[in-house]
Structure 1
């Protein structure tokens, strides 16, 4: 296992961090997963107040059952943004009680996704007042934020100078947040990548076409190497449902060197294949088509279409597409069939794409079955 400094926190994190959202089937499973993770060299455990009983389960294990002392393990929990300082004070106290800890190494403002959330952290008597008090009395050591929001919101939040680390989406198949990676690094922030195997393309079950294009590597390996070869990135989330799911990701825990010529060649080949297959229908993700009057996240819809056609990643596309209209500010935007063919986006597209036609095609490819609504 390799370790990297988590930005200005000056904590040294394992390059893989244990995310606990998926291992909550039972206290026994949490215990086994945590113990195996620590034995394999992971020293950073991430949870959230919204992850079911995760904090409660961790609290039963951290101080008494792990094979290392509390001082050798770094704990991050995440709490939502709020305009109410008293509410944040109570939330911090409750997280500490559930975790049975005197202090939290890192507190993340969880899901700072909208401009309204941005306003919450800027308000004089908002949630940051309570966070600053907790840092002053030692109950919180370091503060950061996670975001599933727009690049613009992420950049603005980084530029406040309030935070020491950021958790965000950034993968080989989604590089929109590269400017945030660059800026956070320049600001000396720790950079935590959210769910690279799952949100990064469901790469633990890649389609045969993508597997073939990535030979002699696996798609998962290439994505991990894309991230781990970047020294600005501190740590990657691995979120096993059972202990055994730690094994494959941690095969790459020492692979932090620069990309090899062979790996670069495969990445170039993937791009050339995508361009050849999509031809004049490729969306280059410039985002100039936004805003859409119907609130369709056109670039994200067309990114999923790109992946489905170029790499046969239709199942991943359906998985993500189902979240539109179902996940609130965690995955905003309407489905592509909401397009009224108003033409508002057409003159703004530098590639002159027939966007309404591509949106219709995307919906037909990706609509799948409706899933459970995640957000009320």
Structure 2
């Protein structure tokens, strides 16, 4: 979704991607002209034949089978292909989305038909949902893969990774360099703590060393952005002692920097009567204070109240100090004060999703 500046940049990025040995290209109906630009690249010619590539596109859940069937055909036409290797149901983010999937006469009827007639080879789903929704969706046993958020700096979805692995599903990690911490442009504090590795490299190694994880998205916006991730991409061995030392250093430094204001991310503070995304806000506070990841914190915090179900919840200044969360917090954190503190630190410009 990030190569969309011009058709030429899209082609150059796709061509460089394949030339570097990447064989999995992922797009989505919702990513502007991304499907169309990928289809143009196929028409113009690429370094390897279509049969050597795995193409994933993603389509949101629909209320009826006819709409989904039409969307599948439209994606095939834009991509200039006769079949899609992997179709992801895009954004099963709420219980309501899951109900659409479970409806026997709904959109999945069209998906099964597309599998039967060969237009689609494999079916999965992408999600930005709360953990409980992700686990319930995996447990439908409808899907062969899941796209989700999971990084060193966000490990809430670890149980979903494990459940998917137990069910022999593919596990696809969304945007580890950007959503995982804006690690292309890390702050000096984080660079120093990760030495002799780069923050980008150490996050990739956290994921690549985990045999349960199948693939990571690079999300290159241009050919140059392929270079750093591909320097690490073959490093799938277990963590080295030096890498383990870096992770211990990061954890110790965070503990020292935050002291008794560190949020452990247990999520017991929820639900909030004002629908404030308390754990996520306090996670961003953790990262801002510990590692000076303010740029990332402002980026993610600015998306609250602007991204719907893709990044739900209200900002910290919406707190009414009702106190509902206080007795549920095992660390006895003064949550209302920490929410206001985070808002003061991170209330930059409002953000939005890159597409939508």
Deviation at 1:371? 3.7
Match of 1:359 in 2: 339
Match of 1:29 in 2: 9
Among 347, 366, 369, the residue aligned to 2:327: 347
Among 250, 256, 266, the residue aligned to 2:236: 256
* CA offset digits 1:232-262 (Å, max 9, x no partner): 1111001111111111110012111110001
TM alignment of 1:127-276, pairs within 5 A: 127-276=107-256
Residues 299, 351 of structure 2: 8 Å contact kept: no
SS in 2 for 1:238: coil
Q: Distance in 1 between matches of 2:232 and 2:53?
A: 21
Q: Distance in 2 between matches of 1:180 and 1:371?
A: 28
Among 33, 37, 43, the residue aligned to 1:57: 37
* CA offset digits 1:132-160 (Å, max 9, x no partner): 00000000000000001100010000000
Q: RMSD of aligned C-alpha atoms?
A: 1.2
Does 1:104 find its partner at 2:48?
no
Residues 90, 127 of structure 2: 8 Å contact kept: yes
After TM superposition, where is structure 1 displaced by more than 2 Å over at least 4 residues in a row? Answer: 369-376
SS in 2 for 1:251: helix
* CA offset digits 1:116-140 (Å, max 9, x no partner): 0000000011110000000000000
TM-score after normalising by structure 2: 0.98
Residues 284, 297 of structure 2: 8 Å contact kept: yes
Paired residues, number: 356
Q: Distance in 2 between matches of 1:247 and 1:228?
A: 17
Stretch moving more, 56-65 or 116-125: 56-65
Residues 63, 70 of structure 1: 8 Å contact kept: no
Residues 83, 125 of structure 1: 8 Å contact kept: no
Match of 1:68 in 2: 48
Structure 1: gaps of 5 or more residues: 1-20
Residues 30, 355 of structure 2: 8 Å contact kept: no
Match of 1:7 in 2: none
Deviation at 1:373? 8.1
Match of 1:12 in 2: none
Among 92, 95, 111, the residue aligned to 1:115: 95
Q: Distance in 2 between matches of 1:85 and 1:369?
A: 40
SS in 1 for 2:18: helix
Match of 2:257 in 1: 277
Deviation at 1:82? 1.4
SS in 1 for 2:270: coil
TM-score after normalising by structure 1: 0.93
Deviation at 1:370? 2.8
Structure 2: gaps of 5 or more residues: none
TM alignment of 1:87-98, pairs within 5 A: 87-98=67-78
Deviation at 1:374? 7.5
TM alignment of 1:256-335, pairs within 5 A: 256-335=236-315
